[in-house]
Structure 1
Amino acid sequence: MKRLDREEKAEYTLNAQAVDRDTNKPLEPPSEFIIKVQDINDNAPEFSNGPYHATVPEMSIVGTFVTKVTATDADDPVYGNSAKLVYSILEGQPYFSIEPHTAIIKTALSNMDREAREEYLVVIQAKDMGGHMGGLSGTTTVTVTLTDVNDNPPKFAMSQYQFTVAEDRVLGGSIGKVKTNDRDIGDNAKSSFDIIDGDGMDMFEITTDSQTQDGIVRLRKPLDFESKKTYTLKVEAANVHIDPRFLSGVPFKDTATIKITVEDADEAPIFSSPTYLLEVHENAAINAVIGQVTARDPDATSSPIRFSIDRHTDLERQFNVNAEDGKITLATPLDRETNVWHNITIVATEIRNHSQISRVPVAIKVLDVNDNAPQFASEYEAFLCENGKPGQIIQTVSAIDNDDPKNGHYFFYSLLPEMSNNPNFTIKNNEDNSLSILAKHSGFNRLKQEVYHLPIIISDSGNPPQSSTSTLTIRVCGCSNDGVVQSCNVEAFVLPIGLSMGALIAILACIILLLVIVVLFVTLRRHKNEPLIIKDDEDVRENIIRYDDEGGGEEDTEAFDIATLQNPDGINGFLPRKDIKPDLQFMPRQGHASGPNGVDVDEFINVRLHEADNDPTAPPYDSIQIYGYEGRGSMAGSLSSLESSTSDSDQNFDYLSEWGPRFKRLGELYSVGESDKET
């Protein structure tokens, strides 16, 4: 019914059955028919991965693998030759070849040079039917690129180069460049340069510029136009990376000649030495010549030179230099013990061209002379035991000397001439610049003499010798049986026998602790007896003192004769208090006779204050005293704020300036209970 395509469907399965046409009933069981489609060569080979790209090193030998291609054919590979492929090269010969059945491409020609031709286009054909007539075919292209190998040496662009350079060119400065050409690329084109011959091999050097691969000629040593004006160099360029396959008698290097001409320039003065080392004794006289520096002008004109000191290197101006001949002299005294080395800089300047300046360092070493006397190495203080033995070493001392003799120090020790026969002590030289002091006898007593002073003369071996006198302090001390110092003062000597220092400290600590306890006890007791009344010192308008505890009621009113205060004209008698039982009998005071005009209120209050202050039977119990009587002829009127008709804040209280403190004191003596406020 339709055209068949094996590549789309290679097999069909049919189910068939015979049925009665009239009844449509099956006459037999179903049967299966399988139909297979037989292949014919109707599909051409195809390269699904094409076009291809491959690389191979240049100069490769014949048969070098390049790449492999693959073609596919949709026809049946089992039936017939419809899918049997054969490969061939249509274009790319004679440089490359291909295996007919494996499709491997190889080089077919040797000595293919990348520098001559870098890329090749190869056309590959795949044909079915085993390559026979009537078969179908397909093609693809392979681009083959030759990769570089180091098969070419570097070549100088010129065989001879000419450079000129001024004689004052700084060291390391570039003089010129030489260029090479290399047909190779990448690392194969990198070259190194070297000076292999010439009369300036030690004066110049050549290096490679990493960016341009040029050779840079640089100055290595200072030039001198007056001594040599031209130099000739032979330089060589060679590849850094060498391929040993191409070293068959062909050198991968090239050479060129460089001629350098030196030009004259005005040069700075040149010192006869790059550095100077001078020595001078520390006792050298002022203006004494220490040494000399010399310099010359290297130019043909030979300008005169003037010398000076760079004062930044001689801030204290200890040296001078003669501007004409370069002689260095001493300007101030030297002291080796203060500074052994002095480093100054001498400047040489051309008189004709002040811009031409040279500098040279000068190191001046100060030599030692014996100008310091030896002395004790430290502040020695010796201790002598009372129970010491004769000949016992009390102290070993040593000396120091700020001088530095060439052969080292050697000190001599002796006593003062007037103390050479010292009855208590003697000295012994230990032959190692140290001295031992020995006791001549035993039985020293610090009660008789606590401290001894022993002057010792110390001399050195210099020329001339120097000496000094140092005094050693020897203190008599109490020691244990094994010679351990325990006490060195007289007060400690009179302490009870057997009482150690630790015991004394413990006793003292106990005494201090007891004193602290007593002070704390007294302080707490005093705080406990203080009244808990909060006093109001600001408000003095009322004579009622408020107290937190309630009073005794009627007993408070019967404790004192209130009527007496209400009427001072009455007889002031004494009524004993009913709320306490006095321990002492208090004698009643005598009544005061009133004057013609009645009682003096000031005197009355003073008497009451005096009685309250001296009455041992009248502590401040809760009570109240009412002073209703203010005296006759009082211009102030009523002093009680309770009786005031107004409580205006502008009320004048100036009249309290005299009476206020007195009422305050009475209020402290006679506190008011809560039950007595109304009264």
Structure 2
Amino acid sequence: MLESVFKRSANPHTFFSTRPLICTCCMCKSHHPELHSNSDKGDGSVKYILTGEGAGTIFIIDDTTGDIHSTKSLDREKKTHYVLHAQAIDRRTNKPLEPESEFIIKVQDINDNAPMFTEGPYIVTVPEMSDMGTSVLQVTATDADDPTYGNSARVVYSILQGQPYFSVDPKTGVIRTALHNMDREAREHYSVVIQAKDMAGQVGGLSGSTTVNITLTDVNDNPPRFPQKHYQLYVPESAQVGSAVGKIKANDADTGSNADMKYTIINGDGSGVFSISTDKETREGIISLKKPLNYEKKKSYTLNIEGANTHLDFRFSHLGPFKDVTMLKISVGDVDEPPVFTMTPYVMDVYENAKIGTIVGTVTAQDPDSANNVVRYLIDHHTEEDTYFTIEANTGTLKTAKGFDREETSWYNITISASEIDSPKLLSHVQVGIKILDVNDNPPELAGDYDVVVCENMKPGQMIQTISATDRDNFANGPRFHFSLDSSLPSNPNFTLKDNEDNTASILTRRRKFSRTIQEVYYLPVVISDGGIPSLSSSTTLVIHVCACERDGRVRTCSAEAFLSSAGLSTGALIAILLCVIILLAIVVLFITLRRSKKEPLIISEEDVRENIVTYDDEGGGEEDTEAFDITALRNPSAAEELKYRRDVRPEVKPTPKHPTSSSLDAIDVQEFIKQRLAEADLDPSVPPYDSLQTYAYEGQRSESGSVSSLDSATTYSDQDYNYLGDWGPEFKKLAEIYGEIESERTT
């Protein structure tokens, strides 16, 4: 039977054994455990063999004696036990003398690990003024030694630094406040050192430490305080309203929101002139000006200012009140000020028909200083509106400088500046609004161009159109409008006008049925008067067209001439235009016929003419030959003044008129007129040829070859009756007489 025998050596780290084959050893090197077989007689015939965890490396065995030795130190925190197998064999035959036995070597713990704080250093806060014993933090230290064996892992906590402000529980490691009402304002930061020691704190135990940084957080336990009970402040009277004129501050030992405060003016004669607000960042009271200052009226003000916390803690209300009061005296400084207008702004009015130089109004400004200097006035010229008025520099009286038209501009806004004679750079300005009052200077007129239509099948009393009016004047001089027919004309049998008394009027028929074949257009003069004083009126003629309509009143067709008439051409004018066209066509045909019937030229041969004569021996161009002869010169000699230049050559220099004026031409007969024209053509140096003859070769009734003109008759031109031509008859008769004289001259 194999058994283990353990002997205590002189070394304190020895093996101990408990049967069966369970051994313990310390962490040092040792060899005292031994194995022994009953078969071992001590003669060395038995050999011991060791196998298993660490065999041959950590543990070796003496194969003769069975002593087991460790070759290196053991660490229980790395491996707590080893499983080994031992066997005794015959050294000579190598046969087992006994079965293999298993035994376990347990590593016995020793205190070789100090306690450790794994989470340090710590940072923690605790409110100031906390009660004594208030828990701050719990710290924990760990020990790697075996907690089940001895006191190697039994830790005790203690405080090395931080007393008498804090304490620590030895068993739990809970840190608590050790004083009552700790004041942050006295001391804010604390560094506490906590120690953890094993072996239950006994001498020889191992220890570790950590640092706990504790900060006292603020609570509102301090009221605000002004450093002084009285303050002085200087403010010039020229300070602008709304501007900041000074600052004041109360101190508060607290921080954050506990130091926030609000400033208030609680009383004083300056409470209505000054205001105070709080700057949240700097916690200062900003004093601002609410009303203008005047040194001449009041030279100083007194304010009582309160500063109070906005966040209060009821737990510390007994430390209050959390506010403080101080007195502020403000002195007003005297400065040279610009003039002050008595009103701002000014509003004036003037009628639009006011003459230049009419007084509109007066502005007044005074020197606010005690010197009371003289003030001068001036219009600031920036826009065209400023030129419509002038101002007297000494009195401030505004006058008109131009005429007005309310319908174009109804308001004028100008700026007037005032300055002291002694200090012209100190200016004050005021706005003056001038309203242009209306006068009745615009007559009413129709609101639009009305195209009035009456149907042929109309009945008496039927309305055909509603008209309205407009007036550029305002309501007082415009509506209400009154409509009526022109009383100076006879009563209209066809239409009448009804005033609807609502600024409109209706056109009504007065008879039954209208006919386009009888009359296509009617004219209705309408008089419109306004309600102004004095009243103005205007007369407008409405054009009414007769149209064929459906039974439901829809217009089917209207005469084209009616619409032409609506464009401004009357029937008589159209007839006159058509008659003129017919006469001109007849004259053109007459001259073409005469030129074609000519048998021999006026000048037979150039050899028979001793002077340089240009012959125009060409056929007429019919209706296209409009340059052959201008008959208007013979019909109306005064019109020839405009057509005296030759048409075949464009003169470079405009010739000087040499013929009599139009008034004298009327008294000259046609023969003399033609002679003058020939003389002018010969003497005109502006166009070639310089010696030319203007030929008027037209055959008359005395021509040997006869006349092919459709106007030829048995009677003479003067005996012809031209009354069928109407107003053109006398003119055409005179033209015929001229033709006769020309024909007589030619044959002669």
So what's the TM-score if we normalise by structure 1? Answer: 0.68
State the match for 2:166 in structure 1.
Answer: 96
Match of 1:110 in 2: 180
* Alignment deviations for residues 328-351 of structure 1 (CA, whole Å, 9 cap, x no partner): 222223222222211112221211
Please name the residue that 2:235 is paired with.
Answer: 165
Query: Is the contact between residue 472 and residue 478 of structure 2 (CA under 8 Å) also seen in structure 1?
Result: no
1:300 to 370, 374, 394: 370
Q: Tell me which of 340, 359, 369 is aligned to 1:270.
A: 340
Of 478, 481, 484, the match for 1:414: 484
Structure 1 match to 2:21? none
**C-alpha contact (below 8 Å) 2:385/2:413 kept by paired residues:** no
Q: 2:105 matched to 1:35?
A: yes
% identical aligned pairs:
56
* Structure 2: distance between partners of 1:402 and 1:315: 22
RMSD, matched Cα: 2.5
Shift in CA distance, 481/204, structure 1 to aligned 2, threshold 3 Å: same
Counterpart Cα distance in 1 of 2:439 and 2:126: 87
User: Cα gap change, 1:249/1:90 in structure 2, threshold over 3 Å: closer, same or farther?
Assistant: closer
Of 277, 280, 284, the match for 2:354: 284
The answer to whether the Cα contact below 8 Å between 1:447 and 1:490 also exists between their aligned partners in 2 is no
Structure 1 position 317, deviation (Å): 2.2
One-letter identity of the residue aligned with 1:162: Q
Greater mean alpha carbon deviation, residues 153-162 or residues 171-180: 171-180
Q: Cα deviation per residue 1:204-228 (whole Å; 9 max; x = unaligned)?
A: 2334445544333333321111111
Partner of 2:123 in structure 1?
53
| Corresponding residue to 2:509 among 406, 419, 439 | 439
Partner of residue 428 from structure 1, selected from 498, 504, 509: 498
- Residues 190 and 434 of structure 1: is their aligned pair in 2 closer, same or farther, counting only changes over 3 Å? same
Alpha-carbon distance between aligned partners in 1 of 2:210 and 2:387, rounded to the nearest angstrom: 94
- Which of 74, 78, 85 is equivalent to 1:8? 78
Tell me how far 1:470 sits from its aligned partner.
1.2
Distance apart, 1:394 and its partner CA: 1.1
Question: How many Å apart are 1:490 and its aligned residue?
Answer: 4.6
Which amino acid is 2:422 matched to? R
Give the conservation status (yes or no) of the 8 Å contact 1:86–1:126: yes
Structure-2 change in CA distance of 1:452 and 1:492 (3 Å) = closer
1:488 aligned partner, one-letter code: C
Task: Answer yes or no: is 1:359 the counterpart of 2:429.
Answer: yes
Output the CA distance in 2 between the equivalents of 1:492 and 1:159. Answer: 102
> 2-side partners of 1:485 and 1:269: how far apart?
75
The structural deviation recorded for 1:313 is: 5.1
1:615-647: per-residue Cα shift (whole Å, max 9, x none)?
xxxxxxxxxxxxxxxxxxxxxxxxxxxxxxxxx
Q: Deviations over 1:230-270 (max 9, x none)?
A: 11122222334444432225122222222222222111111
Contact 2:416/2:431, CA 8 A, preserved across alignment: yes
CA distance in 1, matches of 2:482, 2:562: 39
Indicate the residue corresponding to 1:465 in structure 2. Answer: 535
| Equivalent AA in structure 1 for residue 528 of structure 2 | I
SS in 1 for 2:167: strand
Equivalent residue letter for 1:230: S
Q: CA deviation at 1:116?
A: 1.0
* Aligned residue type for 2:404: L
Deviations 1:98-145 (A, max 9, x none): 233322212232211112112223232323344466654433332222
CA contact under 8 A between 1:411 and 1:433: conserved in structure 2?
yes
- Any unmatched runs of 5+ in structure 1? 494-679
Q: Structure 1 residue 261 and structure 2 residue 261: aligned?
A: no
Q: Which amino acid aligns with 2:306?
A: E
**Which structure has the higher relative contact order (CA within 8 Å, separation 6+)?**
1
Q: Which residue is equivalent to 2:469?
A: 399
Distance in 1 separating the partners of 2:538 and 2:514: 29
Task: Tell me the matched-pair count.
Answer: 493
1:492 shift after superposition? 11
Residues 374 and 401, structure 1, Cα contact 8 Å, conserved in 2? yes
Secondary structure of the corresponding residue to residue 248 of structure 1: helix
Residue of structure 2 in register with 1:217 after alignment: 287
Contact 2:414-2:432 within 8 A present in 1 as well: yes
Q: Which residue of 2 aligns with 1:204?
A: 274
CA distance, structure 1, for counterparts of residue 105 and residue 299 of structure 2: 106
Aligned-residue offset at 1:44: 3.1
Contact 2:233 2:328 in 1 (8 A): yes
How far 1:185 sits from its partner (Å)? Answer: 3.2
Q: Which residue, out of 105, 117, 135, partners 1:65? A: 135
Cα contact 1:370–1:405 (8 A) shared by 2: no
Equivalent residue runs for 1:192-591 within 5 Å? 192-209=262-279, 212-312=282-382, 315=385, 317-406=387-476, 409-490=479-560
For residue 317 of structure 1, give the secondary structure of its aligned residue in structure 2. Answer: helix
Q: Distance in 2 between matches of 1:275 and 1:476?
A: 62
How far did residue 60 of structure 1 move?
Answer: 1.7
Deviations 1:573-595 (A, max 9, x none): xxxxxxxxxxxxxxxxxxxxxxx
Amino acid at match of 1:163: L
What's the counterpart of residue 629 of structure 1?
Answer: none
| TM-score relative to the length of structure 2 | 0.62
Match of 2:614 in 1: none
Residue type at the aligned position of 1:149: V
Q: How far is 1:439 from its partner?
A: 1.7
Q: Secondary structure at the match of 2:315?
A: helix
Using the alignment, how far apart are the partners of 1:153 and 1:313 within structure 2?
A: 61
